[in-house]
Amino acid sequence: MSEVRSPMAGLVVKVATVVGAELHVGDTVVIIESMKLEIPVEATTSGRVTEVMVTEGDFVEEANVLVVVD
């Protein structure tokens, strides 16, 4: 099991994956808006999404878990 974490604080503007989706390293899983920039957060490991911890409109802090991959 691994976790994709937020690299910075910001607003979740798009969740680009769902539970059950197959991810590969480099796939965008969430887009966060911070300082008026949209930052794509990419998968750091391959596997199947087992949990999506955020929804669009959520505010996240640095290091918050966004997605769990198994």
* Domains of the chain, each with CATH number or no CATH: 2-69 (2.40.50.100)
User: How far is CA 18 from each of CA 34, 35, 36, 37, rounded to the nearest angstrom?
Assistant: 23, 26, 25, 24
Strands annotated E in 2-70: 2-5, 10-15, 22-23, 28-34, 37-42, 47-52, 59-60, 65-69
The CA-atom distances, in angstroms, between 36 and each of 5, 23, 24, 58, 67 are 20, 27, 28, 16, 23
**pLDDT tens digits, residue range 10-61?**
999 999 999 999 999 999 999 999 999 999 999 999 999 999 999 999 999 9
pTM attached to this predicted model: 0.93
Segment holding 1, helix H or strand E = none
